């Protein structure tokens, strides 16, 4: 997926951009032959997190991190080779709650460029724990945060944004790309079907951790991770050659 100049300007100006058809339908279908098994009973958002030290675990799901169109968009927006920072399948069970308003940088602060690509794996309507974003909230940098009383293990902004908008329906493979400082949340899944999405997070090649000013050596370039993951995706299409 190659983003247009208009889409790139929207991302920088508003802090997010919607990218239809970011992931090929065939790849979404393949991922969705594995993702439903990760849904657990419960009434709250459920992650299945990529492990940098064990990329073979759930590779048929985490392959989205190295999907060429996704990496291409990250590379364009970061204006540098993209390093994989974090990846997770995010399921919101039927009737379950999503996450409170937060900036990803309120969990761990990365300086020098980082973003999140929220990929719909099922059709996500506004009442299905859809993603909300607060336009332009990236412009004020990383804001004070606290642990959320209602969402165990999660952070939320001390001051919630007042200009949040709910995204329109996303079809499987559509994505919303947002800056690591853009406030976002998801609300309740009011339907009787689980919501499936994948959050693919990248940082610029030279980005550093605010805690110690160092580069994180565990965060590989997506192009290198793809070569590793190809080994665990035997029988499926290899895309290494098309990655830059
Ligand atoms: O899965 C969701 O509903 C929200 C994802 C999210 O907040 C994140 O990836 O930081």
| Predicted confidence (pLDDT) per residue in 78-122, tens digit | 999 999 999 999 999 999 999 999 999 999 999 999 999 999 999
Query: What gap in Å lies between CA 234 and CA 107, rounded to an integer?
Result: 35
Of 203, 195, 202, 200, the C-alpha closest to 167 is 195
Share of residues in the chain with pLDDT > 70 (%): 95
Q: Ligand 1 centre and the CA of 241: distance in Å? A: 30
Asked if residue 98 has its Cβ within 6 Å of ligand 1, the reply is yes
Within 10 angstroms of residue 203's Cβ, the number of other Cβ atoms is 26
Instruction: Name the DSSP class of 170.
Output: B
- Mean pLDDT taken over the chain: 95
Q: Ligand 1 centre and the CA of 74: distance in Å? A: 17
Taking only the tens place, the pLDDT of each residue in 186-226 is 999 999 999 999 999 999 999 999 999 999 999 999 999 99
Q: Which CATH class is domain 5-146+155-237?
A: mainly beta
Helix spans in the chain (H): 5-14, 25-31, 59-62, 68-78, 222-230
Residue ranges covered by each domain of the chain: 5-146+155-237
Please answer whether residues 200 and 119 qualify as being in contact, where contact means their C-beta atoms are separated by less than 8 angstroms: yes
Asked if residue 239 has its Cβ within 6 Å of ligand 1, the reply is no
The pLDDT confidence band at residue 234, using thresholds 50, 70 and 90, is low
Q: Beta strand pairing status for 195-204 and 114-120?
A: antiparallel
What angle do helix axes 222-230 and 68-78 make, rounded to 10 degrees?
A: 170
Asked if residue 130 has its Cβ within 6 Å of ligand 1, the reply is no
Is pLDDT of 241 > 70?
no
Asked if residue 99 has its Cβ within 6 Å of ligand 1, the reply is yes
Q: Mean pLDDT over residues 28-51, rounded? A: 96
The pLDDT confidence band at residue 237, using thresholds 50, 70 and 90, is low
Is pLDDT of 151 > 50?
yes
Q: What is the best residue among 70, 90, 201 to mutate for testing ligand 1's pocket, by most ligand atoms within 8 Å of CB? A: 90
Compute the radius of gyration of the chain from its Cα atoms: 17
pTM score of the predicted model: 0.95
């Amino acid at each position: 997926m190659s983003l247009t100049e208009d889409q790139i300007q929207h991302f920088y100006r508003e802090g997010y951009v919607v990218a239809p058809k970011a992931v090929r339908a065939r790849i979404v279908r393949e991922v969705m032959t594995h993702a439903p098994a990760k849904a657990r009973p419960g009434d709250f958002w459920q992650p299945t997190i990529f492990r940098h030290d064990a990329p073979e675990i759930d590779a048929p799901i985490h392959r989205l991190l190295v999907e060429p169109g996704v990496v291409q968009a990250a590379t364009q927006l970061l204006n540098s080779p993209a390093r994989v920072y974090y990846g997770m399948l995010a399921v919101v069970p039927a009737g379950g709650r999503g996450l409170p308003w937060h900036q990803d940088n309120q969990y761990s602060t990365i300086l020098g460029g980082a973003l999140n690509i929220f990929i719909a794996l099922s059709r996500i309507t506004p009442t299905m724990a859809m993603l909300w974003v607060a336009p332009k909230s990236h412009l004020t940098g990383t804001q004070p945060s606290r642990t959320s009383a209602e969402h165990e293990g999660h952070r939320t902004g001390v001051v919630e944004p007042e200009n949040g908008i709910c995204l329109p329906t996303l079809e499987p493979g559509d994505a919303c790309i947002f800056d690591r400082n853009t406030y976002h949340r998801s609300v309740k899944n009011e339907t009787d079907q689980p919501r499936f999405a994948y959050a693919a997070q990248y940082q610029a090649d030279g980005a550093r951790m605010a805690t110690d000013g160092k580069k994180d050596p565990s965060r590989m370039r997506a192009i290198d991770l793809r070569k590793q993951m190809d080994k665990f995706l035997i029988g499926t299409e290899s895309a290494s050659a098309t990655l830059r």
